[in-house]
Structure 1
Amino acid sequence: MPRVVPPVADERTALTAYLAHQRRALRVTAYGLTEEQARMAASAGELSIGGLIKHAARCEGFWTDLVLQQQRGTQRKADESNEPDEPDESGADEFRLAPDETLAAVLAAYAEAAERTDAVIAGIPDLGQAVPVPQGAPWVPAEVKEWSIRWVLLHLIEETARHGGHADVIRESIDGATFDPLLAAAEAWPDPWVQPWEPVAPSVG
């Protein structure tokens, strides 16, 4: 796949293509990581790459449910809390992998959430269709009663890109890997114009 979003012909294609691109950028930060590395809080904060991908999957599920006006169990208070230490209402830690969770599992959950979002959006002809605002949420202006599908897509792009930036910093702190070499390795670019990332061989005593 190309490094950048291909040319787009209309608004819907632009929004969905840029969302897919940001998802891809977040996912590639996990390429080649061990389970231990996926849990590492390698920056000054407490975020981990595995935790960020877990959060991104839940975020997409939250917004897709909102578009469909559904709930799955106890609805979360917010999808983009800036406080990694604050658990969601179910008691699960939103930004960290639980002991029984794996990187492969959260990547699969993220892919499933993305596929569901894409299917739901594809079935809605009008990007201006109203999406009801959760009343009483502290992150919503009191005067706002509805968003649009267009707004939701823009917000998902924003949210995914923000956490992708977090993951970039964390990944570089773990092993020095950056976006282009990781993408070249993950997607086996033919004749890449950058040197693909390779795992560092363990030192021999």
Structure 2
Amino acid sequence: MTTQRSEPAQNADERTMLEGWLDYHRQTLARKCEGLTDAQLRTASVEPSALTLMGLVRHMAEVERGWFRKVLADDDPGPLYHTEEDRDGEFHLTEADTWAQAHATWQAEIEIARRHAAGFALDDLSKGRSRFTEEPFSLRWIYTHMIEEYARHNGHADLIRERIDGATGD
């Protein structure tokens, strides 16, 4: 299966453009993971790093959950993978961790994020707060941050994928 990736509109309103860029980067990460086995998706970038493609997907599920559920909507179901003892739990994979599970969890968090965001205007402030500040965030800020977060991690994904099988691309 090839993930379809749509170029963001070049002349859309601000919200459509922000949502388009966010979806573009979500789709880019999915494409970086396509065609690999679970073992390849669990392959670390370089010792001693635990950074893997599957770990990045699990991390982005946590990030989607944190910003759109906890911060934006003040709906805190708790973390998916990390704990107080293991703050980077999403990157600590075992042989039991599968792409099917990681991908399904990530996609579910994206759908919940979309539903929450649909109830806010760009200038509306979040109902919840992050662990970094007691100040609320506008939906515009959250969208911009999420685009930055995906873009940064897609750069990591490029390098990991190239290490695994030599595949490069946009």
* Interval of TM-score (by shorter of Structure 1 and Structure 2): 0.7 to 0.9
CA-to-partner distance for each residue in 1:21-69, whole Å, 9 max, x for gaps? 0001111111111111011013353200000001001110111122111
Q: Counterpart in 2 of 1:168?
A: 158
Q: Structure 2 residue aligned with 1:156, among 134, 137, 146?
A: 146
Q: Counterpart in 2 of 1:106?
A: 102
SS at match of 2:137: strand
Correspondence 1:72 to 2:74: no
Q: How do 1:66-145 and structure 2 match up within 5 A?
A: 66-73=71-78, 88-89=83-84, 91=86, 93-124=89-120, 126-131=121-126, 132-134=128-130, 137=131, 139-140=132-133, 145=135
Q: Counterpart in 2 of 1:194?
A: none
**Do the aligned partners of residues 2 and 8 (structure 1) sit closer, same or farther apart at CA in structure 2, a change above 3 Å counting?**
farther
**Do the aligned partners of residues 178 and 72 (structure 1) sit closer, same or farther apart at CA in structure 2, a change above 3 Å counting?**
same
CA-to-partner distance for each residue in 1:129-178, whole Å, 9 max, x for gaps? 112433xx4x44xxx62211110111111111111111110000111101
Correspondence 1:42 to 2:45: yes
Q: Which has the larger radius of gyration?
A: 1
Q: Is contact 2:5-2:27 (8 Å) kept? A: no
Correspondence 1:22 to 2:25: yes
Matches of 1:122 and 1:157, distance apart in 2: 17
Matches of 2:79 and 2:8, distance apart in 1: 36
Scaled by the length of structure 2, the TM-score of the pair is: 0.84
Q: Counterpart in 2 of 1:84?
A: none
Select between 113-122 and 12-21 the one with higher mean Cα deviation.
113-122
**Do the aligned partners of residues 62 and 29 (structure 1) sit closer, same or farther apart at CA in structure 2, a change above 3 Å counting?**
same
CA-to-partner distance for each residue in 1:88-127, whole Å, 9 max, x for gaps? 3274712233332201211111111111111221222x21
**Do the aligned partners of residues 88 and 8 (structure 1) sit closer, same or farther apart at CA in structure 2, a change above 3 Å counting?**
farther
Q: Counterpart in 2 of 1:11?
A: 14
Q: CA RMSD in A?
A: 2.3
Scaled by the length of structure 1, the TM-score of the pair is: 0.71
Structure 2 unmatched runs, 5+:
none
Q: Counterpart in 2 of 1:186?
A: none
Matches of 2:80 and 2:160, distance apart in 1: 29
Amino acid at match of 2:90: E
Shift of 1:3: 6.0
Overall identity of the aligned pairs, in %: 35
Question: Which structure has more helix as a fraction of its residues?
Answer: 2
